[in-house]
Chain A
Amino acid sequence: MGARKLMLGRTANGLYWMYRYLERAENTARLIATGQRIALTRLHGGDDEWRSILQTAAVLEGYDQRHSELTKASAINWLLRSEDNPSSIYACLMAARQNARMVRTALTGEVWEAVNATYMHCKATLKRRLPERDIPTALASIRQRTALVRGMTHGTMLRNEIFDFARIGTFLERADNTARILDVKYYVLLPSVTAVGSSIDNVQWETILRSVSARGGFMMEYGNSFSASDIANFLLLDNRMPRSLAFCTSKISDNLHYLTANYPISPPSCEQIESIQQTHLRNHISEIFESGLHEFLQEYIALLGALGRQIEIDFRFYE
């Protein structure tokens, strides 16, 4: 690899987690906004929706340990600002900033300042429980701030291995998030049980699309006719949809290959990502439904987890 500087394994680890946490904060903000919307339009049964949102964010277990009942206000508080929830938006942004401090020398000044400002802003906004009317503004500002970090990352960072680890962290988190949203709601998409055209299903489908900011994109492609298999196809296999499994997986793959372009032997993580693409994302949507959407998603999530662990080993994140 010549005289080029090689980055520390610990730095790679810090970058990877910094961007995972930023992505997670943004996804959670989107989930809360979706939940709010359902609650406000009152098309669907109240607090159950919050249970499934907590489940999607993988924080339901922690919530139940500390609360005896589930209310909208305490669910939002748990997702937004609880310090007991390591995946709350506040905890994520704090962790993102801690990691950014650790890898400060790998970041441009602009990226660091954007992360630092995001954290300071969020700390000030989330200092106390927010009244309901302030929540939409708070969520919007958090999403804007994390988008600013992403913009600074794109606009100022060299396309080297630092950038690759940032991207791998982002897309692993995003793919995991989309897969979990679909898995929590997979039954809504099963053709066998959907009463086509019923208004409840329309709301459920819309919920799914909104929680990955895909409603507009979907309608551009498919118009107003929502169908389960179109939605599943869009979110699983569409290569142009920036939060689909196919899109995220191919980004992870690209960045892993950039990283290892000069390696004499490609490391196991590269083979793993190729295998995920081959076995899971080259199918037709009907085949996925046939062999079971839930099983497909479960497998995919497990493979992503294993990939994450292999990346830690291949790039010496830890001793």
Chain B
Amino acid sequence: MTGPINFDEMWGSDGIPRDPYHDFLNWFEQEDPKRLQQKQKESEELFRLTGITFNVYGREEAEERLIPFDIIPRIVSASEWRKVVRGIEQRVRAINAFLHDLYHRQEILRAKRIPESIISNNSAFLPQMIGISPPGNIYTQIVGVDLVRTGHEEFYVLEDNARTPSGVSYMLENRETMLQMFPELFSQIRVQPVQTYPTDLLRSLSDCAPSGLLHEPTVAVLTPGIYNSAYFEHSFLADKMGVELVEMQDLRIIDGRVAMRTIAGYKTIDVLYRRIDDDFLDPLNFRSDSQIGVAGLFDVYRAGRITIANAPGTGIADDKAIYSYIPEIIRFYTGERPLLKNVPTWRCVEKEALAYVLDHLSELVVKEVHGSGGYGMLIGPAATKKELATFAKKLKSRPANFIAQPTLALSTVPILTRTGLSSRHVDLRPFVLVSPKGITVTPGGLTRVALKKKSLVVNSSQGGGTKDTWVLEN
């Protein structure tokens, strides 16, 4: 792929090791390459044994696969990280204000800062949520902001993931694996810990419990079940928090509360960390054709007798059609200049934008507005002529379904290959917790890496891998 020379986080643009990697490279250069190859293999065994797998969609057998792990860490300095954190906090505050506004007075629409059509024609907007105020007016208790980097100071937000972001178990297990394999490295280099995440998550969720409880809130994680692609993570989080992992079949409404069936009767739940889509929560209030769900769950929610995290209807905030308005949303609710950049976005629903996109298809990345996981997307520079032509047709027939963005020169970080270090493109998903008591951004996150040389696709479902992400202590 041609394009501007990208920024390598280890070697900069000029081949001189950047500061955050200094100590690591000292260590690395003294290591026997054969031992490292051996460690790389060992790491795979460790992952297989702990069962960190994901199920691949669209395959007949419920096949479990490992996400490849690369042992070279991605390293961020403390000062770089502080900037990222400030940007994320600002964005998350704005998103929650936006959600509250959308489901109440809709000032932002009245002020015509974003077009009304984008809400009214959007299935991610849930009319059932109108007038509901969750505790602390927090709608997104758990967020995973996808960032990409293009230079020393250049961070762009790719997606806000305000529904049910996944991947945090990899952040934790990647670190666990590194600690097991290279304990000496962590005694030489001061890396900020990520291991507090489950405790922080439990505290943050408990802080979001309905007000007026006379007991410690009971928190539970709701999973669609063992066949879900992220089941490992669901059980992992419940296990680390020490709370129950429930399925829909365990729940029932009793005396106006949501309760789970235990061996000695039903027990009330106060906070439900759900890892299941809005549509499947409650057949009475949402999709009546849904086989799963707890009838009446949403009525309990509306009565303020349970906290659902994240709130139903948050999807409107991370919708790709809304994404391009986020800078505007930040200005509107915070009165501040956005600290993190948005990737320039053409909304194909707009005529001039569509014309531009069709003219420049081979340079752009085109995404489906409601798609996720890298499915149904076109990477112009990597596409064949035939693929471009097919996609152009799709685009013309349903322009409102697509947005387009320039191909950014994503930063690279080296991975360990058989012939030594070799640079690959990466992105970063830090994990954010929001409660009435504040916002916590865990120092680290999930670094996804495209394992194929020059590839820009980092999604695990399409051959991406992961790395441990280090934030240094100064």
Residues of A within 8 A of B (CB): 1, 5-12, 98, 101-102, 104-105, 109, 112-113, 116-117, 120, 161, 259, 263, 315-316, 319
Determine if A8 and B239 form an interchain contact, defined as CB atoms under 8 angstroms apart. no
If A113-B50, A116-B49 touch, whether A7 touches B263 (CB-CB below 8 Å) is yes
| 8 nearest A-B residue pairs (beta carbon) | A6-B262, A104-B235, A315-B263, A105-B239, A9-B261, A105-B238, A101-B226, A12-B263
Q: Which of B231, B238, B264, B267 contacts A101 (CB 8 A)?
A: B231
Determine if A117 and B262 form an interchain contact, defined as CB atoms under 8 angstroms apart. no
Could you tell me the distance between the alpha carbons of A263 and B244 in the complex, rounded to whole angstroms? 22
> Which residues of the other chain, A, contact B261 by a CB distance below 8 angstroms?
8-10, 316, 319
Determine if B51 and A9 form an interchain contact, defined as CB atoms under 8 angstroms apart. no
Name the residue among A12, A105, A116, A316 with the largest chain B CB count within 10 angstroms: A105
> Which residues of the other chain, B, contact A109 by a CB distance below 8 angstroms?
50
Could you tell me the distance between the alpha carbons of A70 and B261 in the complex, rounded to whole angstroms? 47
Determine if A9 and B262 form an interchain contact, defined as CB atoms under 8 angstroms apart. yes
B176 to chain A, nearest CB (A): 11
> Which residues of the other chain, A, contact B79 by a CB distance below 8 angstroms?
none
Flag whether B247 is at the interface (Cβ < 8 A).
yes
Could you tell me the distance between the alpha carbons of A117 and B225 in the complex, rounded to whole angstroms? 22
Q: Which of A10, A117, A315 contacts B250 (CB 8 A)?
A: A10
Determine if B263 and A8 form an interchain contact, defined as CB atoms under 8 angstroms apart. yes
Could you tell me the distance between the alpha carbons of A125 and B247 in the complex, rounded to whole angstroms? 34
- Please tell me the number of chain B residues within 8 Å of chain A, measured between CB atoms: 25
Determine if A120 and B262 form an interchain contact, defined as CB atoms under 8 angstroms apart. no
> Which residues of the other chain, B, contact A12 by a CB distance below 8 angstroms?
263
Residues of B within 8 A of A (CB): 48-51, 225-226, 231, 235-236, 238-239, 244-247, 249-250, 252, 260-265, 267
Could you tell me the distance between the alpha carbons of A179 and B423 in the complex, rounded to whole angstroms? 64
A302 to chain B, nearest CB (A): 25
Determine if B262 and A98 form an interchain contact, defined as CB atoms under 8 angstroms apart. no
Determine if B244 and A8 form an interchain contact, defined as CB atoms under 8 angstroms apart. yes
Could you tell me the distance between the alpha carbons of A62 and B247 in the complex, rounded to whole angstroms? 33
A11 to chain B, nearest CB (A): 8
> Which residues of the other chain, A, contact B263 by a CB distance below 8 angstroms?
6-9, 12, 161, 259, 315-316
- The 11 listed contacts between A and B (C-beta, < 8 Å) are A8-B246, A9-B261, A9-B262, A101-B231, A101-B235, A104-B236, A104-B239, A112-B50, A113-B49, A113-B50, A116-B51
The chain B residue sitting closest to A314, CB to CB, is B263
Determine if B249 and A105 form an interchain contact, defined as CB atoms under 8 angstroms apart. no
> Which residues of the other chain, B, contact A319 by a CB distance below 8 angstroms?
249, 252, 261
Q: Which of B231, B236, B247 contacts A10 (CB 8 A)?
A: B247
B419 to chain A, nearest CB (A): 30
Determine if B260 and A98 form an interchain contact, defined as CB atoms under 8 angstroms apart. no
> Which residues of the other chain, B, contact A8 by a CB distance below 8 angstroms?
244, 246, 250, 260-263
> Which residues of the other chain, A, contact B252 by a CB distance below 8 angstroms?
319
> Which residues of the other chain, A, contact B225 by a CB distance below 8 angstroms?
102
Q: Which of B48, B226, B245, B265 contacts A98 (CB 8 A)?
A: B226
Given contacts A11-B244, A105-B238, 4 further A-B contacts (CB under 8 A): A7-B244, A104-B236, A105-B235, A113-B51
> Which residues of the other chain, B, contact A5 by a CB distance below 8 angstroms?
244
Could you tell me the distance between the alpha carbons of A102 and B225 in the complex, rounded to whole angstroms? 8
Could you tell me the distance between the alpha carbons of A300 and B139 in the complex, rounded to whole angstroms? 57
Name the residue among A1, A101, A116, A263 with the largest chain B CB count within 10 angstroms: A101
The chain A residue sitting closest to B241, CB to CB, is A105
> Which residues of the other chain, B, contact A117 by a CB distance below 8 angstroms?
49
The chain B residue sitting closest to A14, CB to CB, is B226
Could you tell me the distance between the alpha carbons of A6 and B265 in the complex, rounded to whole angstroms? 9
> Which residues of the other chain, A, contact B265 by a CB distance below 8 angstroms?
6, 316
> Which residues of the other chain, B, contact A10 by a CB distance below 8 angstroms?
247, 249-250, 261
Determine if A6 and B264 form an interchain contact, defined as CB atoms under 8 angstroms apart. yes
The chain B residue sitting closest to A10, CB to CB, is B250
> Which residues of the other chain, A, contact B247 by a CB distance below 8 angstroms?
10
Could you tell me the distance between the alpha carbons of A295 and B252 in the complex, rounded to whole angstroms? 44
B188 to chain A, nearest CB (A): 28
Determine if B50 and A7 form an interchain contact, defined as CB atoms under 8 angstroms apart. no
Determine if B250 and A101 form an interchain contact, defined as CB atoms under 8 angstroms apart. no
If A10-B247, A10-B250 touch, whether A102 touches B226 (CB-CB below 8 Å) is yes
If A1-B264, A12-B263 touch, whether A105 touches B51 (CB-CB below 8 Å) is no
